[in-house]
Chain A
Amino acid sequence: MNRDDLWRRFVIVTPYLWLLMFFLIPFGLVLKISFADPIVAMPPFTSLFDFNKAPGESFYATLDNYRFLLKDDLYRISYLKSLKIAFFSTCLCLLVGYPIAYAIARASPVWRNMFLFLIILPFWISFLLRVYAWMGILSTNGVINNLLLSIGLIEQPLQLLYTDFSVYLGIVYSYLPFMVLPLYATLAKLDFDLNDAAADLGAKPLTVFRDVTLPLSIPGIISGSLLVFIPALGEFVIPALLGGLDSLMIGRTLYDEFFGNRDWPLASAVAIILLLMLVVPMMVFQHYQLRETDQRE
């Protein structure tokens, strides 16, 4: 093997091995342990293969964890609630993000970079702290309640924090840049002469938007929505900090199952089902990403 082949091999094999070791194999383990029973030991689960036993009994797997998950109300509610919250917060994010992306795309080129920079900047500031910022605003003695009390609009402080409302708000706020950037990328490529042409021919602004801009921006809508929906579904920090005790999103339930109950096999099964729910949106996202790169080439 000559030196060039060696270099080629090095470039491919090094990251490959790392990802196999620290990404793929760990998933295999989650899958494996989701078929095990919890025991009081370290590690706290039974092994699938036990070679100390007789050949016929050396393999042991159980579907108990999955059966339990499907039967138990807590988990069913958690999964459904996560889906609901992720779906509606994605819609809200789209409603808030679309006008912003549109306005940036139509701004003069000098301003555009500045506007985009201001969208990206909060993303660099700690996620945890941005979620925390809302705690100070929404709490019973927080900014909003103080303001409303002082102008006499309410008598009693409103319960804003630790509700579903605050979870929605937190998700929309935290993931807004993920929605705006792909939308902007699509809208910036549009030829706004088309809009002007339609307007010149007498179409009303809303009609132009509905018939021209909106259909052309669908790729951006889809990637932006998936970039919000996918992480929102498994979100842990936002429901843990802004949600009430009953805000049972699955990411939080998994975390509690793991750290609170120390039931690792059940937590693994929770993770596998969450992953199955994400397979379809992830594949759609991958499909659109590939199409995007193909177009660029």
Chain B
Amino acid sequence: MNRQRSTFLITILCFGYAFLYIPIVMVVIYSFNDSRIVSVWGGFSFRWYLQLLENRQIIEAALLSLRIAFVSATVATALGTLAGLALARMGRFRGRILFTGMIAAPLVMPEVITGLSLLLLFVSLQDLVGWPGGRGAATITIGHITFSMAYVAVIVQSRLMSLDESLQEAAMDLGGRPFRVTLDITLPIIAPALLSGWLLAFTLSLDDLVIASFVSGPGASTLPMWIFSKIRLGVTPDINALATVIITIVSLGVVIAGWLMFRQEKQRQRDVQ
């Protein structure tokens, strides 16, 4: 009976992971395909990778995306941490319900609506006060900060909720000012949550197509926008190569981050003992 059950469960997992990973593996395999016709195997080759390196448009789009992701993740982590602190540590304040709603809503809002609303804001602002003079990297960054700070806030809030408050109370009892206690005690303790928040914000920004398409202007094309305009017409071998590069970088990053957190967790458990 028990054996039968575990065979059944293992089969499910095999099928599940096959479903999740086969498409990704296929892209990787076909990126080394020499043939111009994507699905016909024409021998092993690196030619699409070499072509990528020569494509200035891709490199420029990638650099723009990375710049936007770096800035928006950093600002979103700062704002999201404040928001998480406000929700978890500041008790009641006026407008708390609206605040909670504004943190939760971006998580489930369809991107087309967020993108449209931000564009309307930027256009109206430009009409009223002349800022932002033209749309591009800056407006995309603001859009990304807004939706990813909500994710950071949720991560920080849930970490703070699960935290034992006695350490901070002790620090307060000893006369620590709230500002210093937050800076010296709370933030170091929740540093792993801040790091996950930053990584998530970074990835969300790198990944976003819809909001960027709405709030971008002529000349500012992020990597997803460039990829989208290309694959809308069908599969192309150089996108396979680009996808493989991205998949490799992201997987390595996630595996290393996961391993570091795992090790830190183990270390902490050992310290506790």
Contact = CB atoms under 8 A, between A and B. Distances in A.
Do chains A and B interact in one complex?
Answer: yes
Contacts of B240: 136
B247 A129 contact: yes
A160 interface: no
Contacts of A264: 120
11 contacts: A4-B178, A11-B89, A19-B146, A26-B121, A29-B121, A103-B16, A120-B254, A121-B254, A233-B110, A234-B112, A282-B105
Contact of A29 (B1, B120, B142, B224): B120
Contacts of B102: 19-20, 23-24
Nearest to A172: B19
Contacts of B83: 15, 19
Main secondary structure of the interface of B (DSSP, over half): helix
Range, interface on chain A: 35 or more
Interface of B: 1, 5, 9-10, 12-13, 16-17, 19-21, 23-24, 26-27, 30, 37-40, 79-80, 82-83, 85-86, 89-90, 93, 95, 98-99, 102-106, 108, 110-114, 116-118, 120-121, 123-124, 127, 142-143, 145-146, 149, 153, 158, 161-162, 177-179, 182, 203, 206-207, 209-210, 213-214, 224, 227-228, 231-232, 234-235, 239-240, 243, 246-247, 250-251, 253-254, 258, 262
Given A15-B80, A96-B19, A132-B243, A22 B112 contact: no
B39 A16 contact: no
A258 B20 contact: no
A296 interface: yes
Given A7-B178, A133-B23, A128 B224 contact: yes
B254 A124 contact: yes
A133 B19 CA distance: 12
Contacts of A121: 251, 254
A210 B126 CA distance: 59
A135 B20 contact: no
A133 B20 contact: no
A205 B213 CA distance: 51
Interface string A161-176: 0000000000001001
Contact of B95 (A16, A43, A113, A234): A16
A191 B232 CA distance: 48
Contact of A26 (B95, B120, B213): B120
Contacts of B227: 128-129, 132
B9 A254 contact: no
B113 A16 contact: no
Contact of A255 (B26, B103, B112): B112
A104 interface: yes
Contact of B231 (A115, A127, A135, A231): A135
Contact of B207 (A3, A102, A126, A255): A126
Given A18-B146, A126-B207, A129-B243, A106 B9 contact: yes
Interface string A7-37: 1101110111011101111110110010000
